[in-house]
Chains A and B, each alone.
Chain A
Amino acid sequence: MKAVILAAGHGTRLWPLSESMPKVLISIGNRPIIDYVVDALVANSIKDIAVVVGYHKEAIMTHLGDGSQRGIKITYYQQNRPLGTAHALLCARPFLDEPFLVVPGDNLIDRQVVKDALEASSGNVLVLTRSNMSSEYGVVTTHGKRVVNIMEKPKNSSANVISTGIYLLQPEILPMLEMELSQGINGISSAVAKNLERIDLEGVMTRGEWRDAIYPWDILHMNSRAMDFRGQTVLGNLEEGVTLKGPVHIGKGTRIRSGCYIEGPVHIGEGCDIGPFVSVFPGTSIGNEVQVDPYSLISGSVVYDAVSVGSHCHLSRSLVGRNTTLSSSCHMDSGPAQIVSGGNLFPQEDIGAIIGPGSHFEAGVTVRPGIMVGNGCRVHAGATLRENLRSRTEAF
């Protein structure tokens, strides 16, 4: 069995994280999403994998390489313009000479999801799951096992069975996709939906975990569950007087200085310098090369690579993009908030701030709950942010 991972998309709704990074490389629980996908395939002995790349393809190719380090073979195909999933799949046409799995590279899945697809009948299979956000996905109606209808992003649907976008397909189906593409139908789902009478498509409800990060705050919600490791792994340096509780991972070359208190699940990457006297509370992931100065507190947050957190900072249920600098005494507390994104309001029970990559916060900045800050912003000392900040702007 071969598999095709679709990794050419933008994920624009993940702004500000997606502005310069493909969605598949955004980390949850300190691992890029596509790594979960590759792991799920490898765990099911699928080792011949094609990846369709487009947006920031070089970053993806550099990250995955040729697969030989994981004992698999990865071949790349390019989709030069974002013309839909069917178009993306057909970019890998020479690869598709036997039954294959199609897997979106930007959903977090576990091995069970792939297993469920493989154990279904030998024809064409669509993996289904349940979601209370069905208006964001394709809602699927089945008759017995057979899929009889797929409705894309219905406005008011009470149904909660949705398509995961994961298919097991026979190569014989490709001419149909090509034909539909020439008619301007360029999504796999819509092409399949149009031909459900002619092809046998079996729906399989998966027992596995399938999660999608549509908005950046979804990452905060998913972060804790993604860190499903147990025990304590310390590959770095712990100074005397550090307290670790629960599942904690500390990466190579990371130094945790005296008096730090870390309560898992917490995942800390490589080459960090934390403390002395820093508290890190459950659900937090800290990337590589992060520095956290004394007396700061980080709880339920996602801190990406090369972030620098000054002393006396407080981050709660907040997300900080790579390379952002927070000077001392910056506060990002959490609370109930209405996040404004793309002209819509998203009520959240408990959320902190969402800060894009490469921004610089001078000392004593407060960011109110639910506020988003873009890429490369500069926030001057003592400012309080009560509104979202566009990328590359200054705030006083």
Chain B
Amino acid sequence: MCGIVGYSGDKMATDIILDSLIRLEYRGYDSVGVAIVNHDIVVYKEKGQVSQLRDLVPSIDGYTGIGHTRWATCGVPSSENAHPFKSMDGRIALVHNGIIENYLDLRKELSAQGYEFSSQTDTEVLVHLVHRYMDGDLHMALRRALQDVRGTYAIAAVEFGSDRIVVARKENPLVIGVGMGENFIASDVTAILEHTSDVIYVMDGETAVISPEEIHLFSPEGQEIKREVNRITWTSEDAKKEGFEHFMLKEIFEQPKTVRDTLVCYLDGLEASDILPPVSPSSVTIVACGTSYHAGMVGKYAIEELANIPVTVELGSEFRYSSGTDNKPLVILITQSGETADTLAACREARRRGCHTLAVTNVLGSTITREADSVIMTKAGPEISVAATKTYTAQLVSLYLIALKLALNRGAIDEMGLRELKAQLRSLPTLIERVLDRADSLQDAVEVMSRAQHAFFIGRNINFPSMLEGALKLKEISYIHAEGYAAGELKHGPLALLDPDTPLVAACLRDHTYEKMISNVTEVAARGSPVLIVASDGDEQVHLLTDHVIFVPRCPPLLSPVPLAVLLQLLAYHVAKAKGMPIDKPRNLAKSVTVE
């Protein structure tokens, strides 16, 4: 996903375009750029976020311009690959959101005609094509160029010496904002709502020419058409949420898709992929912070079970204090942003000690992707809510894949076992859907939890880290003091803190820990604390222990952290909502922690 914007009017274009790009950052934020028309076409572009470009761009006199914010899906983020792209004579600049499928053929053809390419992007062929057909009319040149193109796009182009912006769209969003003596274009109404709430939607196959005073819209056949102006009645914050009340809820509900995307990317070719060196390590160290640390702990159980390799999990901030040993473990670093300072420091330290480093991250081109020896991308897309949800489950999936790959490398799994595990992994998106479908069943649990000031979460084995994560979600967004413990640790201290106002959330799933969990819970119930049991579907027995039960679909024990995570995310969300908390932006917390 990328975002494009454009402005032509009587104000300084740079400021308006940068402002609009900030509002489109949710569509991607790994590189940005602007092109402003004045005595020349001035282009500034940079890898990084809009704020970085803002410091870089001097105030340029210019009243017409376009801008772009990018989320790389193929081709690394870099200033060369950032948009806008200029034609070789510098007279045309263009931004693009979408994919040009036949760009390799076009590139070959254009190179043969003497066009030079400065980037690896598919977009650059567009600007050269437009230049090839340029015969005084940019609109006609763009229409002609698009006849050669196969793919999807929303395009905006400007030319030297003109205050017009020419746009085209196919299967990517594009709107025109109607102002007084100024007009706008953007991927999304959000970007321009501050300036105008009157918009015209550009439909598939259509093109348009925009100048400060005029808007001309053309049908796919090239006939000029009239379209009524729509008045937008909602605010810009609402727009990006597509009907959801909060980003967090939207992101929770995206998980079937993000897990599926992550699986599709790696599962089928896992045997042949080179994400790990072929030598199998004698031990593994996983390093991460916060939610990623909990994912790492799940990874420990998965790797130990599937590949039979011992794993230690370390906090990013503590790894540097650990002593290096002679044996060189495989070091897996998990960071959503790829910029977490402590995890980056650990990566450097691990490399200094001569270990192979494997990064699991969500941001292509982030620092860790350059520094680690190999990388697995979680395909979760941009996450806006500070509380991590979809990136956590995507990390879990990545760790299962790593565990499976390690098992394959060691010969610890046979063909039948592999087939069965792959089938189980493939069922995860649907399993998540089934958890999401029962969000309504949480009401009673939400009531119990939202009355509490303190809460404890317990689990055993692979569900222990799930409960740590469940507690973290709750405390982050509802401000309830929640702590997770290994169920066996309860007796070694925390039990003293339980009282009738402090609920205990216990994962009692139907696996080999079930009986031990039940006895832990019985002990707590006997002391008068409210108990909320997370149980497997069809387990009637737990009703004997407590009135408060939430059910998750049955699944293989190894994979239960995934449905459990989704369920506890929903619980935290609804508790925070019942308490009226600012869910997407909790106090004192930042999305990406870039200081140590």
Contact = CB atoms under 8 A, between A and B. Distances in A.
A289 B397 CA distance: 15
B244 interface: yes
B439 interface: yes
A70 B170 CA distance: 9
Interface stretch (A56-64, A83-91, A137-145, A226-234): A56-64
Interface residues of A, number: 43
B256 to A, nearest CB: 8
Interface of B: 169-173, 188, 201, 203-204, 230, 233, 239, 242-244, 249-250, 253-254, 256-257, 260, 263-264, 267-268, 419, 422-423, 426-427, 429-431, 433-434, 436-439, 537-538, 553-554
Given A59-B436, A392-B538, A358 B553 contact: yes
Interface string A67-80: 01111010010000
A58 B538 contact: no
Interface in A194-247: 237
Contacts of A61: 242-244, 253
A46 to B, nearest CB: 11
Contacts of B430: 288-289, 305-306, 322-323
B242 A20 contact: no
Contacts, number: 108
A255 interface: yes
A323 B423 contact: no
B433 A253 contact: no
A304 B403 CA distance: 28
Nearest to A358: B553
Contacts of A237: 268
A54 to B, nearest CB: 11
Given A308-B423, A358-B553, A59 B431 contact: no
Interface of A: 20-21, 47-48, 53, 56-59, 61-62, 65-66, 68-71, 73, 76, 94, 237, 252-253, 255, 270-271, 273, 288-289, 291, 305-306, 308, 322-323, 357-358, 360, 376, 378, 392-394
A270 B267 CA distance: 13
B99 to A, nearest CB: 13
Contact of B201 (A73, A289, A323): A73
Residue among B169, B173, B430 with max Cβ neighbours from chain A (10 Å): B430
A376 B510 CA distance: 14
A62 B427 contact: no
Contacts of A69: 171, 173
Residue among A56, A68, A273, A393 with max Cβ neighbours from chain B (10 Å): A68
Nearest to B431: A323
A305 B243 contact: no
Nearest to B540: A392
Residue among B169, B188, B431 with max Cβ neighbours from chain A (10 Å): B431
Given A76-B243, A358-B434, A392-B537, A255 B268 contact: yes
A361 B437 CA distance: 22
B427 A376 contact: no
Contacts of B254: 62
A94 B233 contact: yes
A139 to B, nearest CB: 35
A273 B538 CA distance: 29
Nearest to B422: A273
B203 A21 contact: no
A65 B559 CA distance: 28
A323 B553 contact: yes
A59 B253 contact: yes
27 contacts: A47-B201, A48-B201, A58-B244, A58-B253, A62-B253, A66-B173, A70-B171, A71-B204, A253-B264, A253-B268, A271-B426, A273-B426, A288-B260, A289-B260, A289-B430, A291-B419, A306-B426, A306-B429, A306-B431, A322-B430, A322-B433, A323-B430, A323-B431, A323-B434, A357-B434, A392-B538, A393-B538
